[in-house]
Amino acid sequence: MLSPLPEYALLFFRLSLTLVFVLAVVAKLRDLPAFTKATADLSGLPARAARPAATAVVLAEATAAVSIAAGGDALTWGLLLAAGLLLLFSAQLMLALLRGRSVSCNCFGRSTQPISALDLLRNAGLIACACAALVLQMLTPHQSVVRTDALALVAVMALLFVTVWLRLPDVSLILRPARQAAATKESLS
């Protein structure tokens, strides 16, 4: 009998990515004008083109979330769409950072925090999740029914991962004083 570990890992990635894209869609829809402005600021698009671009992003993210959650034949397309969107977003972030633009992405709601390399790290981790899910899907083409207790545990793990991973800049700020104190203590020794 094969280990259920690949199935649980695939479920973890699916739940995590679905949650990420659902959160992104809901946050953007709650304040579409702010996301539209952020789209214009980040991409350099004129205001008249930013609204259709922002709407297209929201629709694409919603499609990715629904496809990944639905599974079956839609799963592959949803994972490819998710990875593609994240690559596109990462390219936009990288260009903005290289140009020295101090803008906010509003990826998960209104924010005044400027983009940073941590946003690229966040996206890289999510791209890795999508790629790992694609590989696991090939390894486990016929998923069996997951036990309820295992599903609950994987869902909690996915929720914790998404909560921390989407807040990398905040986590960094929390950990920074601890790193600085450790470095100071080490230099005094």
Q: Which two tokens stand for residue 56?
A: 């297209």
CB 88 within 8 A of CB 51: no
Domains of the chain, residue spans: 5-188
pLDDT digits (tens), the chain, 189 positions: 456 788 889 999 999 999 999 999 999 999 999 899 888 888 888 888 999 999 999 999 999 999 999 988 899 999 999 999 999 999 999 998 998 888 888 788 777 788 889 999 999 999 999 999 999 998 876 666 667 778 889 999 999 999 999 888 777 777 776 556 555 556 666
In sign, the C-alpha dihedral spanning 157, 13, 132, 1 is: positive
